[in-house]
Structure 1
Amino acid sequence: MKKLLTALLFGLAVLSQTACKHPGKDAETITAATPENTDDISKDVYVDSYGEKIEVTINRTKNIATVHLNGKTYDLKKSEALPDYTASNEEYQYSEIKGNITFLKKNVDMVLFHLKQTKKESGPAKMASY
């Protein structure tokens, strides 16, 4: 009788355990809405003839240029008084004028990076013959 009662109680415990399991609710995923970045940003990497690499990120909306050179980062503000795209702070100046990219230290007139880009030339013009 004890064995029957123990088996019956064990069976009821197992049955109630499996019967009480409801399908679990899916975990709620909350995603924060990120505002769209409407800034006009351009990112360029230049390599000079010595193999030195400079990475320039220009935010034309905020008029900020960020220059990465030799593991250091320089934040520069756009200069309206200077030609083409020129940005500077108290110590450094970055300019991109007619394909000449120059990054220099102003107070000692030391050029840290200079690259003169060659313009891509098209092939000879084809003339029609009649």
Structure 2
Amino acid sequence: MKNLLPSILLGLTILSSTACKHPGKEADILTAAPENKDDISKNVYVDSYGEKIEVTINSTKNTATVHLNGKTYDLKKSEALPEYTASNEEYQYSEIKGNITFLKKNVDMVLFHLKKDKKESGPAKMASY
């Protein structure tokens, strides 16, 4: 029994000393998130009835995302139509000369329409000579 006690103590000492050592700190590798270089603009419009539409335009990818009444619509820019117009098979969003329109194409139903007020310019300034 006397020989067993020192060997058990020696084994516990070796075991505890190796268990308490932490492995060397490994170099942390940080991966940077890819930068989003897209040209994105986000606008929120409210019409005279209090309806709110949120439009996110990605000019880089030529897409528009419209949020209206809790639904999201993904549209693609239409080059054939004037100014900024985006559409898919069912819906069309247009922003032409301050008129913002979102409509369902196959039934010609306007879901949202807003005519932005043109900002009035201040009094004309004349150059003096």
Taking structure 2 as the reference length, what is the TM-score of the superposition?
0.75
The 3-state SS of whatever aligns with 1:111 is strand
**Aligned mates of 2:120, 2:104 — CA distance in 1:** 33
The 3-state SS of whatever aligns with 2:54 is strand
Tell me the equivalent position of 1:76. 75
Taking structure 1 as the reference length, what is the TM-score of the superposition?
0.75
Residue 27 of structure 1 and its aligned partner are, at CA, apart by 9.4
Tell me the equivalent position of 2:9. none
5+ residue gaps, structure 1 = 1-20
Count of residues in Structure 1 that have an aligned counterpart in Structure 2: 125
Note the alpha carbon deviations across 1:14-65, whole angstroms, 9 max, x for none: xxxxxxx99xx88976543011111110000000000000000000110000
Tell me the equivalent position of 1:87. 86
Structure 1 residue 123 and structure 2 residue 113: aligned? no
**Aligned mates of 2:123, 2:26 — CA distance in 1:** 65
Structure 1 residue 100 and structure 2 residue 102: aligned? no
**Would the alpha carbon gap of residues 47 and 128 (structure 1) be closer, same or farther in structure 2, given more than 3 Å must change?**
same
Q: What letter corresponds to residue 33 of structure 1 in structure 2?
A: A
Percent sequence identity over aligned pairs: 84
